[in-house]
Chains A and B, each alone.
Chain A
Amino acid sequence: MEPIIQDLGFIIGTTLMYSTPLIFTSLGGVITERSGVINIGLEGMMYFGAFAGAAVAYFSQDPWLGLLCAALGGAFWGLIHAIACVSFSAEQIVSGIAINFLGAGSALFISRLLFDGATQTLTVARKIPQPLDFLFGEGKMFASSGFTDLVFNRFATVYLAFFLVFVVWFVLYKTQLGMRVRAVGENPEAANTLGINVTRIRYGAVIMSGFFAGLGGAAMSIAVVSRFSNTLISGHGFIALAAMIFGKWKPQGALVACLLFGAAKGLEIFLGSKGVPVAGDILAMLPYVLTIIILIGFVGKTTAPAAIGKIFDKGDH
């Protein structure tokens, strides 16, 4: 096979793999911000999810149980954020920052308890499977490490992420619930006068955002790699947040943005593996630099939900 084709396959494959955690998390961002609540705690929720996923997968030897627990762990922190911001009208940015510390801190704390004082888990026995291998047997469907294999034979989380982009889009734009979520994010007073329960909608959205960020963390710790370590997440939550803004608060937009960041990561790994004479640290900066450049130069005027970050005061009931 042509080496160029194979290289391309490699880059696309790594792009998909590294985009996946971002996609989950930025979908979470879309959901919460569409309801009008800013959640910069996504990083901490993702961090906690990465740990919870790896720890549960390690002890139970079941990656699916790990994935589920990661999502529930993220949702727990989502609930905390909702209580602070929705019920107690806390400043949303401050609560988000606190959750970034708490999510990471609690993950490391539990990790030290469970893994002999280490700030990383042990390697899980079974990662999230690659469904095509599972269904057809390894190397049966596509020639091993060929272009098609590199591109299409991915972890289950990759397919799940793409599927969830569709689901979130469908729910937001085609269902009653989604319409109400968007209305609450644009004009909560108006929604309230029509008898929509703003508090309940916002709670649901913020908790779901934690759920998705948790999935994103696990997609990192038990699919991309096979264990949690304290530097694993390092800013992915924030990149996902940037991707959501770049994607103009739309699931499909966030998907494109995440793929772009994933591609930067894929390129970084590819160039690294080819031994190009550029320091690895410089290459590692690529996704972050790209984030900044895109945010400065290409996003232009974005239209955030109108009520974002504003406290909704129902009056004196």
Chain B
Amino acid sequence: MTAIDFSHRAVEMSGITKKFGDFVANENINLTVHRGEVHALLGENGAGKTTLMNILYGLLKPSSGNIKINGKTLTISDPNIAIRNGIGMVHQHFMLVEPFSVTENIILGNESTRGFGILDAGKGEKEVKRISEQYGLTVDPKALIQDLSVGSQQRVEILKTLYRGAQILILDEPTAVLTPQEIKELVAIITNLTEAGKSIIIITHKLNEIKQMADFCTIIRRGRHIDTVDVSEVTEEDLAAKMVGREVSFRVAKEKRNPGEKILDIKELCVEDSRGIMVVNGLNLQLRKGEILGIAGIDGNGQTQLIETLTGLRKAKSGRIEVLGKDITNLPPGKIINNHKVGHIPEDRQKRGLVFEFNIAENLILETYFKPAFSEGFSLLHKNIYKNADTLIEKFDIRPRDATLQAKSLSGGNQQKMIIAREVSNEPELLIAAQPTRGLDVGAIEYVHQALVAQRNEGKGVLLVSFELDEIMNVSDRIAVIFEGKIVGILDADDADEKKIGLLMAGGTAKE
């Protein structure tokens, strides 16, 4: 937050408009970023942030508007031009070649050769090493991408831009997929970069990160430029209100309730991961009707495999899972969903939550297409399917309001709303929600939390798994902490605090 050079405008976008058919994704947006400045872009899911940055990087052509880089007007018609002018972008969904090494991914398209197009592998590796040391981005140049953690993959993405000499870095939701520790490391990296005179545009939904990292913040709502503010002069509440156009409450309102009968009972569950390591190891857990049970824990302590087993996607090695007193251990997912009324909001929405190529209406009936409401004999009842879709789109505020849009053209947040709409409308007795708010804006988060609480108030059971401690403490009635595949402690939300939970998460014991 120190080295801003106000005399040097690194980026100056003015009057940018972008239309997809009739839909206006960006309307007359202005954005100015100075040298050495961290500029945050804030806006709801689908507001048009990624679109604006894709225009700056030459991946999309603006319908109208003007871009100046370092004072010079440019037409950025493809990424090559952006790269040549010192612009680098780390995309919301990583752009990495999985079976390639770190070095290969970084040098791709800009390879050092020994002449005749023959690669000079050693030189590339040295260069990668040099840059990674210069900015404190530690990563093994020889490792394969597919073996790296998400945090390391992101460092590779940043290195890719620095290798090309980027002076202006665009980071599209860099923290959405990171663990708290990795986020700390990213903050340090960003500081290093601005000290070296680089300008950074960062998109994030986490208001505390904006307060922590950014100098200025531009707020976009439904494609329109709302305001650009000096971050030091506003509060998180101000930012949220500007973004959604109304007051947002960060705390979930919920009344005390007395939980009813046992709905989920997990006994001595053991599960192996794909490498054959026992990652859920004798886990016991009970959940009652009318209760939200949050599972807190550091990523990689068996949460993923636990949920996969509960939903029938992975086989248990031993142990027993009961829903409303009936054994569901190792049943196929279809039976668990339909006969035992278990709903699932999966962790990886793109892989498991939806079919990219299907439209919204089709995605909304993935679990119910065979029911009389939607099919008759061999044929689907399209009229009902679209009527159902229109109702849910309205009720769950999925944008844009068009049931025929392919799932892949929706913004991340709206994809998530679609999944929640499907799962909740299927009226499950038990709802399993894994990372349900990952990548969502505060407005949408508030919405998802309300939906979970509504389930609970109707007397349903909700199992919530999240790496966000805030979310767990805010929404749950009880909190179970998972560590190395076991529940190591269960706390009432009322007398839980960050310290107690944090200690348990790290493998300590809850001593008073």
Contacts and interface: CB of A to CB of B under 8 A. Distances in A.
Nearest to A192: B79
A195 B91 contact: no
Q: Which of A175, A189, A190 has the most CB of B within 10 A?
A: A190
Nearest to A195: B80
B77 interface: yes
B98 A174 contact: no
Q: Which of B20, B100, B109 has the most CB of A within 10 A?
A: B109
Contact of B96 (A175, A190, A195, A196): A190
Contact of B119 (A174, A189, A303, A317): A174
Interface string B59-94: 111000000000000000111100100000101000
B117 interface: yes
Interface stretch (A81-89, A161-169, A180-188, A264-272): A180-188
B277 interface: no
B95 A187 contact: yes
Contacts of B98: 186-187, 306
Contacts of A193: 57, 59, 79, 89, 91, 95
Contacts, number: 74
B113 interface: yes
A290 interface: no
B111 A186 contact: no
Interface string B105-121: 10011110100111100
B108 A186 contact: no
Given A180-B109, A186-B97, A196-B109, A315 B59 contact: yes
A63 to B, nearest CB: 30
B79 A187 contact: no
Interface in A289-315: 303, 306, 315
Nearest to A196: B109
Contacts of B105: 190
Contact of B79 (A174, A183, A194): A194
A98 interface: no
B449 interface: no
Contacts of B99: 186, 303, 306
B73 to A, nearest CB: 20
A195 B100 contact: no
B118 A316 contact: no
Contacts of B91: 193
Q: Which of A192, A194, A303 has the most CB of B within 10 A?
A: A194
Nearest to B21: A316
Nearest to B94: A190
A234 B476 CA distance: 68
B160 interface: yes
Contact of A180 (B60, B78, B96, B108): B108
B104 A179 contact: yes
A317 B79 CA distance: 12
Interface in A46-78: none
B61 A176 contact: no
Nearest to B116: A175
Contacts of A180: 108-109
A284 interface: no
A286 interface: no
Given A176-B119, A177-B117, A195-B78, A317 B61 contact: yes
B111 A179 contact: yes
Contacts of A177: 117
B60 A175 contact: no
Nearest to B99: A186
B118 A174 contact: yes
A187 B78 contact: no
A177 B118 CA distance: 9
Contacts of A303: 99
B119 A175 contact: yes
Contacts of A194: 79, 83, 95, 108-110, 160
Contacts of B57: 193
B61 A195 contact: no
A316 B108 contact: no
Contacts of A316: 20, 60-61
A191 interface: yes
A209 to B, nearest CB: 20
B480 to A, nearest CB: 37
Contacts of B61: 316-317
A194 B108 CA distance: 7
Interface in B217-241: none
Given A176-B118, A183-B100, A316-B60, 18 more contacts: A175-B117, A176-B119, A177-B117, A179-B111, A179-B119, A183-B97, A186-B99, A186-B100, A187-B96, A192-B59, A192-B79, A193-B89, A193-B95, A194-B108, A194-B110, A306-B98, A315-B59, A315-B60
29 contacts: A175-B113, A175-B116, A175-B117, A176-B111, A177-B117, A179-B108, A179-B111, A180-B109, A183-B100, A183-B108, A186-B100, A187-B95, A187-B96, A187-B97, A190-B97, A190-B105, A190-B108, A191-B108, A191-B109, A192-B59, A194-B83, A194-B95, A195-B83, A195-B109, A196-B108, A315-B60, A316-B60, A316-B61, A317-B78
The 9 closest A-B pairs by CB, nearest first: A194-B109, A195-B80, A190-B95, A176-B117, A176-B111, A186-B97, A175-B117, A187-B97, A196-B109
